[in-house]
Chain A
Amino acid sequence: MLNAATIISTILIVAAVLLATRYIYKEKKKGTKCIGCPCAGECHTMHGSSDIKMREKSF
């Protein structure tokens, strides 16, 4: 059972899961609200909290 295909596929599965987890962790750290959502580009560059503060001050 311990053949080349088994070893390679095990490495592939572990690598795929680790890389995906790493990506998600990095994105969350950057403040991305939703990974892979069409809004992903705009969410984390939006100065949400400061905008809300401004709005609260203005109204």
Chain B
Amino acid sequence: MRIAFAGNPNSGKTTMYNALTGRSEKVGNWGGVTVGSKEFKIKDEYTGGRDVSAVDLPGAYSMSPFTPEEGITSEYVRTTNPDVIVNIVDATNLSRSLFFTTQLLELGIPVVVALNKSDINEKEGTSIDVDKLSAKLGCNVFETTSTEGKGLSDVISKAISLSGSSQKPPFVQADIDLKDKAAVDAEDRKRYVFVNEIVAAVESRRTLSSETRGTDKLDAVLTNPISGILLFAAVMWFVFWTSQTWLGPMVADLIVGWIEQFQEWTAGLLENSPPILSALLADGIVGGVGAVVGFLPLVMVMYFLIALLEDCGYMARVSAVMDPIFKRVGLSGKSLIPVVIGTGCGIPAIMACRTIRDERERRATSMLATFIPCGAKIPVIALFAGAFFSGAGWVSTLSYFFGLLLIFLGALLIKYITGYRYRKSFFIIELPKWKVPSQKFAFNSMLERAKEYIIKAATIILICNTAVQVMQSFDWHFNVVEEGAESSSILATIASPFAILLIPLGFGVWQLAAAAITGFIAKENVVGTLAVVYGLTAFIDVEELELTGGANNVAMAMGLTSVTALAYLFFNLYTPPCFAAIGAMNSEMKSRAWLWGAIGLQLGTGYSVAFLIYQFGTLFTEGHLGRAFIPGLIAVGCMAVAVIVIGRKTRAHFDDMYELHRRDGKENAAA
């Protein structure tokens, strides 16, 4: 048996789905988080052991699709014929929700209505007469609070009992020509009248929506183009400062101490064993993986704070304030949703681009979304911020907002290349009600992500670090590399050619090149590889930072200046993401040309940014340009020429297309 969960965006479908199935799908307090259907078995405690699956569908306002995700929902309930539909209705916004409900009731499939978010209604003094609503709609209605699991058993047991029955609609759309816009509009108006009559009969409100409340005034400030952006910058600075300068490092310091002790203990045990074993186990596995795990508290604190922001409803306000800027550079207002999601991970961010209707905007967004530093890049940022900038919180904030700037510039570049002309696109986002963020939700979200982080460290990072350690310990004849002859190792000989390309960026040494390359497997690998090649584990040492103010062991071992460290950090942040994210881009873009264009754009951006930072940074701090300025300039110049050539070629292709149309027109006229 299959139960479909359908309802308006942000009505709480995925939260209910997670509660019923035990899954932990991404949720957020704004519409458009779910972009595809998901199916999973409902827990036995709700079904009494019967095999019942829940299908979570993207939010939809009506059965006539306006956005791609509405199309998925509409198509699913029409064609897949679920046994029962559970219509999740946002009880705080009944009049808007019931339009879709009445359409679902017309399908003939039994419907159970879950009046979700009833707890908010209670607090606001809004009451709904459930029995009267049930009688008017002709279906079962239950009050639910999916965040607390309240009312879910009633909904599921009723849904199971209705399987195989039929549904009588309370409102039937007249038999009209659906291609006739006026007729459809007239019929929709009739449906709204019907819905409004029901709402008037069943709902009583203490506060009318037409009244201005304190939260409306707050929204006015937060969505103001100037104050909204300034406040957003302040909020993000606070998130990064707390996670990477204050609370995160405090916890991490403890963990790093334990890891270091464990590493020393392991090395002590292997004193009389072959050195390669000690190198592999103590330095490669314990040291390398430990270096990555040491940053876990920083990542966890950041995820916790981001989850709080998402849950309270703030991120939807940010979307609204950024919309005009995104439109101006040729992206959709909806492009902000992938950008926000990208703070956690690039892959769901790229998948979230599906909600963008226009193909060019969708591809451009998935190409650019990964410029926002994801959770995997946080250890890299924290490492460099700690080692070279005394753990300054501004490094993360700068990385985030510089990523946003690159998105805008990249969007303008894509606009130039594709010959795109300004088009007025729509971005409709419903500002969710403010709510006190659930600490339980944020805590669970943080734990879930921490679990995934540890899994990655214990699998991919472990294997990569072992491989790096082996490649560093042996030469091509599988002889152990002697001390002082490290450049003859397998790793050094593979990474050295790449290191030459990095000389104009200020970090043309094989160790840093190797770390950057392994970063394409998983960005945390940059940290793990640096730990292995430089023999470091304690990347976080709060006391040492306080004592030395940046010029610590890590900085000395790497031998970088602050300028080259920043250039290297930005190179790792803005070059292409990990292979998994590139794979996601490939599936979303469905075009080899766009995919290669994306990889080229990201490589060019990372390289150019690092080149400019190193060369001009050296000029300002030391009074002269950095090494290999001319070769670097030639490389960046070649990239610029490539962009111009591709742009001209694309636009010439467009001209050909227009020419053809014109000829058709002439032929038609002649005919």
Contacts and interface: CB of A to CB of B under 8 A. Distances in A.
* B-side interface size class: 35 or more
A21 to B, nearest CB: 7
Given A5-B273, A35-B456, A37-B345, A48 B68 contact: no
B273 A6 contact: yes
Interface stretch (B19-27, B398-406, B535-543): B19-27
Given A36-B455, A45-B25, 5 more contacts: A9-B270, A37-B345, A46-B351, A47-B38, A48-B36
Interface in B42-83: 65, 68, 71-72, 74-76
Contacts of B375: 38
B75 A57 contact: yes
19 contacts: A9-B269, A10-B277, A33-B580, A33-B583, A34-B580, A36-B455, A36-B456, A38-B452, A40-B452, A43-B348, A46-B36, A46-B351, A47-B37, A48-B36, A52-B354, A54-B76, A58-B65, A58-B72, A59-B65
B459 A20 contact: yes
* Pairs of residues from A and B, 6 with the lowest C-beta to C-beta distance, nearest first: A36-B456, A58-B71, A34-B580, A39-B348, A51-B36, A6-B273
Interface of B: 23-26, 35-40, 65, 68, 71-72, 74-76, 269-270, 272-274, 277, 280-281, 285, 303, 344-345, 347-348, 351, 354, 357, 375-376, 448-449, 452-460, 462-463, 466, 522, 578, 580-581, 583-584, 587
A49 B463 CA distance: 31
Contacts, number: 143
Given A34-B580, A35-B455, A57-B75, A47 B36 contact: yes
Given A5-B269, A13-B285, A58-B68, A20 B456 contact: no
Given A33-B347, A41-B448, A51-B37, A13 B580 contact: no
A55 B354 contact: yes
A45 B272 contact: no
A43 B352 CA distance: 12
A3 B26 CA distance: 50
Contacts of A6: 270, 272-274, 277
A55 B348 contact: no
A55 B71 contact: yes
Given A17-B462, A54-B72, A36 B40 contact: no
Contacts of A59: 65, 68, 71, 357
A11 B168 CA distance: 67
Contacts of A45: 23, 25, 38-40
Contacts of A36: 452-457, 459-460, 522
B71 A16 contact: no
Nearest to A27: B459
A58 B75 contact: yes
* A-side interface size class: 35 or more
A52 B408 CA distance: 28
A2 to B, nearest CB: 9
Contact of A5 (B37, B270, B454): B270
A24 B273 CA distance: 30
Given A35-B456, A36-B459, A13 B348 contact: no
Contacts of A54: 71-72, 75-76
Interface of A: 1, 3, 5-6, 9-10, 12-13, 16-17, 20-21, 23-24, 33-43, 45-48, 50-52, 54-55, 57-59
Contacts of A51: 35-37, 72, 354
Contacts of A43: 347-348, 351
Contacts of A34: 345, 347, 578, 580-581, 584
A52 B354 CA distance: 9
Contacts of A35: 455-456, 459-460, 580
A39 B303 CA distance: 13
B592 to A, nearest CB: 17
Nearest to B282: A9
Nearest to A23: B459
Contacts of B466: 13, 16-17
Contact of B463 (A5, A9, A20): A20
A59 B537 CA distance: 53
B630 to A, nearest CB: 40
A33 B376 CA distance: 15
Contacts of B459: 20, 23-24, 35-36
B345 A17 contact: no
Contacts of B344: 38-39
A43 B581 CA distance: 12
Contact of B273 (A3, A47, A52): A3
B77 to A, nearest CB: 11
Contact of A38 (B68, B280, B348): B348
A51 B587 CA distance: 12
Given A13-B277, A38-B375, A5 B452 contact: no
Contact of B74 (A42, A47, A58): A58
A20 B467 CA distance: 13
A20 B462 contact: yes
A42 B25 contact: yes
Nearest to B273: A6
Contacts of A13: 277, 280-281, 285, 466
A42 B40 CA distance: 11
B460 A46 contact: no
Nearest to A34: B580
Contacts of B584: 33-34
Contacts of B351: 39, 43, 46, 48
A35 B25 CA distance: 16
Contacts of A39: 26, 344-345, 347-348, 351
A38 B449 CA distance: 5
A1 B272 contact: yes
B492 to A, nearest CB: 22
